[in-house]
Amino acid sequence: MYTPCDQIGAAKPVVKVRQIETVRCPPQLLLLHFGCNGRTACAMSRTTPQNPTLAATLMLLATAFIAGTTLIAKTLGSDLLGPALHPLQISHGRFVFAFFAISSVMVVVRPQVTRPHLPLHIGRTAFGWGGVTLMFAAVAYIPLADATAITFLNPVFCMLLAIPLLGERVGPWRWGAAGIALVGAMVLLRPTPESFQPAALLALAAAAVMGMEVIFIKKLSGREAPLQILWINNAIGVAIASLAVLPVWQMPTSQQWMALAALGGLMACAQTCFINAMARGDASFVAPFSYATLIFAALYDFLSFDVIPDAVTLLGAGIILTGAAILAWREGRAAKIA
């Protein structure tokens, strides 16, 4: 910075320039799976001590919890704990008990609450609720690994929607990654008369709806604190889910009540672990650990339902993860340049 001096030879004032810290924000792939706000996680990372080992551990815990929610949803959608519950009732339980868990944290922490942008919150939550409900419907009929792999198409749908809705430009690398991931989805759909899985279309619809959710997340980014966003998201989700569940409501058994409580609690824990993981480690380091969701889903399905992923599942999941990884890599490079 140049400062003119009144006299020749006068001492020039010393100007201290504060070094700007570079913070790499999480790719949208992670935001979609955990329903969190990327910029607020980045803001936390400016003040939170970095600990890559703890960050990786927290992300692995988050993926284990997320896979656990799909396992519980599949169990509730079957007759293992009583008469099968409708997906609308399962998603209602997810929001109700997650809201209770996050409200308890709000009471203890007492964070400063700012004025929320309700239209964005309502739009984001409506699509999030729709995506979760479709996902819970899908896992009742197809293997957890298949459903989880298909939901990794989230960033692809987000990319496609961002072109008309956000005016974003998409380069050849991102188009190529999207094409690869879509080929993997076609493999998992098993598009032959003998092996076609209609329920896989529910998982595909869930990925598309959640892709729309992230459009609202992008618009909401940086406006509010993460805990406030999670609380408002679940509060609105309770309202939407409570209205939607009325036509199909049935009294759960005691075991189903416990499973619904565990479902909501696990989702709240997953979101908390995600935010803290992103605050304690660089996104380029933490991001690959999110793919462990697929591993946990396959493991839970095997241990609970004796479902072993077949060659088609492994091939389709591998193709989708390849496309998603390329897309996440390009987003990471774009974030560094920005």
Q: Which of 50, 40, 79, 61 is nearest to 230 (CA)?
A: 40
Q: Which of 325, 279, 305, 80 is nearest to 181 (CA)?
A: 325
Distance of alpha carbon 170 from its chain centroid, rounded? 22
Q: Give 227's Cβ-side CA count (13 Å radius).
A: 15
pTM of the model: 0.80
Distance from C-alpha of 182 to C-alpha of 320, rounded to nearest angstrom: 7
Distance of alpha carbon 182 from its chain centroid, rounded? 19
Q: Residue 280: enclosing H or E segment and its boundaries?
A: helix 254-280
* Inter-CA distances, 116 with 95, 148, 300, 328, Å: 19, 32, 38, 29
* Inter-CA distances, 291 with 234, 286, 338, Å: 25, 10, 25
pLDDT by 10s per residue, the chain, length 338: 444 444 334 444 444 443 333 334 444 444 444 555 544 455 554 556 778 888 889 989 999 999 999 999 999 999 999 999 999 999 999 999 999 999 999 999 888 888 899 999 999 999 999 999 999 999 999 999 999 999 888 878 888 888 888 888 888 888 898 889 889 888 888 877 666 788 889 999 999 999 898 888 878 767 777 788 889 999 999 999 999 999 999 999 999 999 999 999 999 999 888 888 877 877 767 777 888 888 899 999 999 999 988 898 899 999 988 888 887 777 766 666 65
Distance from C-alpha of 258 to C-alpha of 97, rounded to nearest angstrom: 10
Max Cα–Cα distance, the chain, nearest Å: 90
Sign of CA dihedral 237, 238, 239, 242: positive
Give me the amino acid identity at 176: G
